[in-house]
């Protein structure tokens, strides 16, 4: 069977148009942007053009508000630790939702070890942030509040504009991790009141090895990677020209094609959800309506997510279970626990994230593989057999 890839939340192929655009920076255009001669100045110009493209995607004030990094994890660290440490005189409290990515939660835990107070905002059963609890947790000492635009595991889109109003009335700066959402839904940092925003190249069909942090003009942050002073002194190190220019081109393509592609994938997603929920003891996770257009996530009683993943791979169909960044532990997803699932329920998760290679014609094969996989695993499961007695 031809491969059907359904795990675009963990990794995306580079768009061929992006590769062709950025390929010269692997071979001919090898100049260092810090050099003052012509080859270096040409490289510098290419980076500034990439900044402009990324700023345009999120309606940032200008390209100068974009700082390049190596990816989403470094960007989240720079946003959280850099802002908290630079503004430590204004307060030593940080806040995040219970379903943030571990690259947000762990930097806050590190700050907690160094004297900061770290508060977690609960979410409801659909993964929506509890706005009343957020309002109660924030104080004048809260320097950074981090709420993701949309969750990578359950697809729920958060009410960022409402969250921003609460944060700015009670605290100081709002950081938004838009890794899962950028390029799939429109984001306007000015209209939505976002102070810092995380973007990832590979999550928009760009090359791996590049990310970007939007910093609202006037906000002060400090470097967490000191060195030669690149990226306004906030992220030192010779720039990855291929990844950065590729990221710029990927964002430009995403902005142009987002509406049409999201509409196309939403039709496939909705049909998938309808068919898979016909399976006994199958449940949708995340918000039924306020979710990413390419995202479908489920849980199945009496079976394990890891077994689902491996069995689906036997059909040459790749899906996910929980976050790709947390599979090194045997613990259930913290996201699924946060929305109120029991440990045994959280273990039976399957996440499907669609992409440009997916077509409606693949639907019957996907649904059949899921049904066969669930039935096969339940036939082997002592929990399922016990239920039948």
Does the pLDDT of residue 324 top 80, yes or no?
no
Does the pLDDT of residue 283 top 80, yes or no?
yes
- Map out the domains of the chain as residue ranges: 4-11+259-381, 16-253
How confident is residue 37, by pLDDT bands cut at 50, 70 and 90? confident
Q: pTM for the full model?
A: 0.94
- Tell me, what's the pLDDT at 33? 83
Q: Between the CA of residue 198 and those of 272, 311, 384, 387, what are the distances in Å?
A: 30, 34, 42, 45
Tens of pLDDT, residues 163-197: 999 999 998 999 999 999 999 999 999 999 999 99
Catalytic residue among 325, 360, 380, 383: 325
> Which of 368, 184, 151, 152 is closest to 266 using CA atoms?
184
Q: Is 325 a catalytic residue?
A: yes
Side-chain half-sphere of 344: how many Cα atoms within 13 Å?
A: 6
* pLDDT mean across residues, the chain: 94
Question: Which architecture, in CATH terms, is 4-11+259-381?
Answer: Alpha-Beta Complex (3.90)
- Tell me, what's the pLDDT at 385? 53
User: How far is the C-alpha of 321 from the C-alpha of 10, rounded, in Å?
Assistant: 11
Does the pLDDT of residue 48 top 70, yes or no?
yes
User: How far is the C-alpha of 18 from the C-alpha of 22, rounded, in Å?
Assistant: 6
Rounded to an integer, the average pLDDT of 55-60 is 98
Question: Which architecture, in CATH terms, is 16-253?
Answer: 3-Layer(aba) Sandwich (3.40)
How confident is residue 323, by pLDDT bands cut at 50, 70 and 90? very low
Does the pLDDT of residue 38 top 70, yes or no?
yes
Residue pair 132/84 in contact (Cβ under 8 Å)? The answer is: no
- Tell me, what's the pLDDT at 69? 97
Domain pair 4-11+259-381 / 16-253, same fold = no
How confident is residue 384, by pLDDT bands cut at 50, 70 and 90? low
- Tell me, what's the pLDDT at 123? 98
- Tell me, what's the pLDDT at 273? 98
Element of type H or E holding 267: helix 241-276
User: How far is the C-alpha of 296 from the C-alpha of 298, rounded, in Å?
Assistant: 7
């Amino acid at each position: 069977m031809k491969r059907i890839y359904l795990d675009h939340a963990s990794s995306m192929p580079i768009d061929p148009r992006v590769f062709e655009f950025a390929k010269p920076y692997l071979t001919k255009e090898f100049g260092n942007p810090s050099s003052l001669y012509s080859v270096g100045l040409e490289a510098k110009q290419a980076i500034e053009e990439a900044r402009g493209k990324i700023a345009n995607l999120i309606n940032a004030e200008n390209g100068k508000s974009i700082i390049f990094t190596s990816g989403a994890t470094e960007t989240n660290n720079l946003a959280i630790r850099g802002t908290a440490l630079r503004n430590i005189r204004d307060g030593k409290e940080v806040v995040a939702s219970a379903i943030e990515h571990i690259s947000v939660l762990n930097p806050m835990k590190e700050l907690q070890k160094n004297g900061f107070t770290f508060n977690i905002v609960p979410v409801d059963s659909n993964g929506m942030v509890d706005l009343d609890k957020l309002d109660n947790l924030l104080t004048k000492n809260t320097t950074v509040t981090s709420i993701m635009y949309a969750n990578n595991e359950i697809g729920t889109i958060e009410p960022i504009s409402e969250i921003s109003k609460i944060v700015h009335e009670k605290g100081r700066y709002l950081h938004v991790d838009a890794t899962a959402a950028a390029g799939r839904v429109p984001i306007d940092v000015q209209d939505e009141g976002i102070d810092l925003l995380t973007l990832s190249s590979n999550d928009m069909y760009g090359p791996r090895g590049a990310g970007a942090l939007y910093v609202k003009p006037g906000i002060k942050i400090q470097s967490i990677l000191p060195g030669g002073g690149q990226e306004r002194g906030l992220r030192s190190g010779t720039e990855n020209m291929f990844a950065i220019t590729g990221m710029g081109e990927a964002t430009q393509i995403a902005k142009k094609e987002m509406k049409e592609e999201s509409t196309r994938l939403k039709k496939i997603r909705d049909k998938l959800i309808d068919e898979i929920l016909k399976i006994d003891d199958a449940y949708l996770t995340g918000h039924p309506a306020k979710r990413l257009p390419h995202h479908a996530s489920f849980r199945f009683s009496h079976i394990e997510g890891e077994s689902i993943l491996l069995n689906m791979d036997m059909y040459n169909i790749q899906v996910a279970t929980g976050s790709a960044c947390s599979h090194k532990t045997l613990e259930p997803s913290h996201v699924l626990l946060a929305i109120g699932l029991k440990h045994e329920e959280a273990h039976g998760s399957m996440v499907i994230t669609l992409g440009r290679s997916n077509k409606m014609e693949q639907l019957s094969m996907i649904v059949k593989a899921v049904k066969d996989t669930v039935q096969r695993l339940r036939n082997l499961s002592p929990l399922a057999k016990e239920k039948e007695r």
